[in-house]
Amino acid sequence: MTEFDAWAPYYDLIHQGLPGEAQYYVEEAIRQGGETLELGCGTGRICIPMAMSGVTVTGLDNSSRMLQLCRARMKKVGKLPGKLTLVRADMRTFDLGRQFQFIAMPYRAFMHLLTPEDQMACLQCVQRHLNRQGVFILNVWAARPSTIAHAAQAKEKFTFAGRYPAPWGKTRLVHHHSAQYDEYLQRITESHRIREVDQHNRLLHEETLSLTRTWLTPREMEHLLHRCGFCVEAVLGGFNGIPFNAGSTEMIWRLRRPKSQPTSK
Ligand SMILES: C[S@@+](CC[C@H](N)C(=O)[O-])C[C@H]1O[C@@H](n2cnc3c(N)ncnc32)[C@H](O)[C@@H]1O
């Protein structure tokens, strides 16, 4: 059971992605032309539109329930112009036995790798699966020390995060969340309380879901990526193509294998 298995029924309601993100990855997959691999594909928010645009894509995730929802979504879409294959595997240890022209790791999925060992293991797997001329795009939150310091001081208390119609009936879901920041481990431990209520606001069901992530600074990302043998082609601060700058809240790393690197296969 992974952390995301419990999230699966609520994921699409609560996590709707970043502005321009899905379109950016779909366009890149079309431009690259060859096979695409999405790491942490979840319920298919990005890999399904890729396959709908004619791309041959493999979606990898270690949550069986997220993949189950992805399969249900694929079924609803019907026949795809491209091809989507789903694989249940861990992004730290996967071995698909072939290479891809484009590898995407959208929506801060890298932040779920909580230690430098896990992060390096994943980046080494990507190295082995990336074509010599291929592109790897990885997005993480750009954590500013001042933002972390401010957030870390907040008392651990649930705050209102949203209210949504339940996708399965006439009830509503009321979402509160809280977060704790471990400044030594650079780890955010979030609690998300989901309450299902009827038209009269009577509580029908309550669940608390956890989400654990690590944050990385731009300098740490740069060292980690160089250490794992990647060449940085560009760092963007948004999916509209603006370069990363001091005001950016996202880092979008566009990476390649070094030209002189021997093949790892
Ligand atoms: C933030 S979600 C992103 C989902 C999807 N890409 C999207 O944009 O909606 C991160 C995904 O990574 C998956 N994940 C987390 N750790 C993983 C691991 N070690 N191996 C494979 N998948 C993992 C989770 O199950 C989840 O589906």
Per-residue pLDDT of 122-178, as tens digits, reads 999 999 999 999 999 999 999 888 888 888 887 768 899 999 999 888 899 999 999
Ligand 1 first shell, C-beta below 6 A: 2, 4, 17, 40-42, 45-46, 61-63, 66, 90-92, 106-109, 112
Asked whether the predicted pLDDT for residue 261 surpasses 70, the reply is: no
CA 260 to ligand 1 centroid distance, Å: 32
CA 262 to ligand 1 centroid distance, Å: 30
Interior/surface letters 127-155, b for 16+ CB within 10 angstroms, e for the rest: bebbbeebbbbbbbbbbbeeebeeeeeee
Q: In the chain, which residue ranges form alpha helices assigned H by DSSP?
A: 3-14, 21-32, 47-52, 64-77, 116-129, 145-153, 218-227
SS3 4: helix
28/135 Cα distance (integer angstroms) = 9
Residue 107 CA: nearest ligand 1 atom is 8
Q: Which residues pair with 173 in a beta bridge?
A: 164, 196
Residue 92 CA: nearest ligand 1 atom is 19
pLDDT tens for each residue of 3-32: 999 999 999 988 989 999 999 999 999 999
Residue owning the nearest CA to atom 9 of ligand 1? 45
Asked whether the predicted pLDDT for residue 262 surpasses 90, the reply is: no
Taking the alpha carbons at both ends of the chain, their separation in whole angstroms is 32
Structure tokens at 23: 């379109």
Nearest Cα residue to 228 out of 117, 102, 142:
117
Q: What is the mean pLDDT of the chain?
A: 94
Residue owning the nearest CA to atom 14 of ligand 1? 40
DSSP 244: P
